[in-house]
Amino acid sequence: MSIINTSDQYVTEERHLTAQLPDIGKPRIVIIGGGFGGIQLVKNLDMNAFQIVMLDRHNYHTFQPLLYQVATAGLEPDSIASPLRKIFDNEKNFFFRMATVESINPDANEVVTDIGDIRYDYLVIATGTKTNYFGNKNIEELAFPLKQIPQALNLRSHVLQNFEKAVTSDSQEEIDRLTNFVVVGGGPTGVELSGALGELKKYVLPKDYPELDFKMMKVYLVEGLDRLLPTMSEHAGGKAHKQLTEKFETIVRLKTMVEDYDGYEVKLKSGETIPTETLIWAAGVQGIILPGLEKATVEKGRYVVDVFNRVEGYENVFAIGDIAKMSTKDFPKGHPQVSPVAIQQGARLGKNLTRLMRGRAMWHFVYFNKGYMATIGRNNAVADLPYHIQFSGFPAWLAWMFIHLVYLIGFRQKIVTLGNWIWNYFTYDRGTRLIIRPFNYRRAVSRKKTELEKENEYTSQE
């Protein structure tokens, strides 16, 4: 492969370099995304029958359910990240490339990536979701999202930097802005994050900053609907509300929408304003759709798939997990965007692709709902299990920890996480409240603004 050095960047001589992927004489499955769905898919494929090419913009899998613990100094980032090459390191027909997929060219059976075009025989889209700001540009520029590990680390640094700044400030107005935290979205992420911030306030930060009066630290949780955890039972929502307000003094605002944010003050639709330099956006996600397939394949930001996870209108293109919209009798609007769906669809498609290649009929996907859980600080969680079994408190918290350890990928990650949890539990401490990579909020905002302007220019030219 020859590389030409142009004036400002290195470019490959021709685009069709196939990212140095050898042709091993087996049908090639290209999987976009090493998330829950992508990994399970590979685990369930006949590894001798295919050449498997996994593409991901990161070289690791992110265990998103515990991102909030990284953001609140409860866990190290490497406890919830597993290197994708390591997961399949003994598989000779497995090839990983760290690459961002830019589009799909179904006529040529190729994906266009930032490392060149890659040919496929079967394509599986498992790109998951990104944060949905519902068109509010100010919030997109200024709020903290929580979808990726770098975002969780930025938030961790920002929260700790706020307290370092507050301790040196002589302005009560500034101290209020630095020590108020507004979480938007009363789903599991918002509830868990508010609980973790409440724990920091109650047990951890007062030891670090004895000069500050922690009564002034306020955590607001803002939800548009009339209760917390709207995707879970009323029992779970009520318990979470009680625990947050009574134990952690969280200020919960229901039936409340955020209207705008300027980086210093959140404006609610009710007219109320909250001074804060930290607005955390956990209010919604949207699928990561790649340009290239027919427009009709996308509904509500997800690819429409049949009961085999095959994208409507394409023989050899599949979509699994959060990005797939499969309408069934039980789930007419598509399955919930949670990890068990992605895991089960990945596993079923892995088996199905092997069957398809051997000329056998594929099996329908049927979702087995094992229940939903959310934790609210130490010793407390809520759980909704099938057959209307609901429980909460300490037993639910133990079950929550056990399940997360089971699903966490990598033996080392399980041990480190368990170790951190034991330490945090008995010491009422958080071992990782470190500002390793200081976060310059204002600089990051101006960078994001430029990126968004470029994106807008590009879309309006198209």
Ligand X SMILES: Cc1cc2nc3c(=O)[nH]c(=O)nc-3n(C[C@H](O)[C@H](O)[C@H](O)COP(=O)(O)OP(=O)(O)OC[C@H]3O[C@@H](n4cnc5c(N)ncnc54)[C@H](O)[C@@H]3O)c2cc1C
Q: Which residues are catalytic?
A: 192
Longest dimension (CA), the chain: 74
Three-state DSSP class for residue 433: coil
- Residue with Cβ nearer ligand X (248 or 400): 400
The least CB distance from residue 349 to ligand X, in Å, is: 11
- Residue with Cβ nearer ligand X (337 or 380): 337
- Residue with Cβ nearer ligand X (320 or 356): 320
- Residue with Cβ nearer ligand X (42 or 288): 288
Q: Say which residue the tokens 């042709």 belong to.
A: 23
Residue 120: name the closest of 53, 28, 201 by CA: 28
- Residue with Cβ nearer ligand X (321 or 350): 321
b/e code 218-250 from CB counts within 10 Å (16+ = b):
bbbbbbbeebbbeebeebbbebbbebbeebbeb
The least CB distance from residue 353 to ligand X, in Å, is: 16
The least CB distance from residue 241 to ligand X, in Å, is: 18
List all residues 6 or more positions away from 154 whose beta carbon is below 8 Å from its beta carbon.
144, 439, 444
State the residues that interact with ligand X by CB under 6 A: 32-38, 55-58, 62, 64-65, 67, 100-101, 126-128, 146-147, 188-189, 288, 321-323, 337-340, 342
Strands 51-56 and 94-98: parallel
User: Encoding tokens for residue 164?
Assistant: 């370092």
- Residue with Cβ nearer ligand X (188 or 198): 188
* C-alpha span between 36 and 22 (Å, rounded): 26
Per DSSP, 66 falls in state G
The least CB distance from residue 207 to ligand X, in Å, is: 27
Residue nearest to ligand X (CB): 35
Pair 305, 319: CB distance under 8 Å? yes
- The DSSP line for 185-254 is --SHHHHHHHHHHHHIIIIIHHHH-TTS-GGG-EEEEE-SSSSS-TTS-HHHHHHHHHIIIIIH--EEE-
One-letter amino acid for residue 258 of the chain? V
The least CB distance from residue 100 to ligand X, in Å, is: 4
The least CB distance from residue 172 to ligand X, in Å, is: 33
Pair 113, 100: CB distance under 8 Å? yes
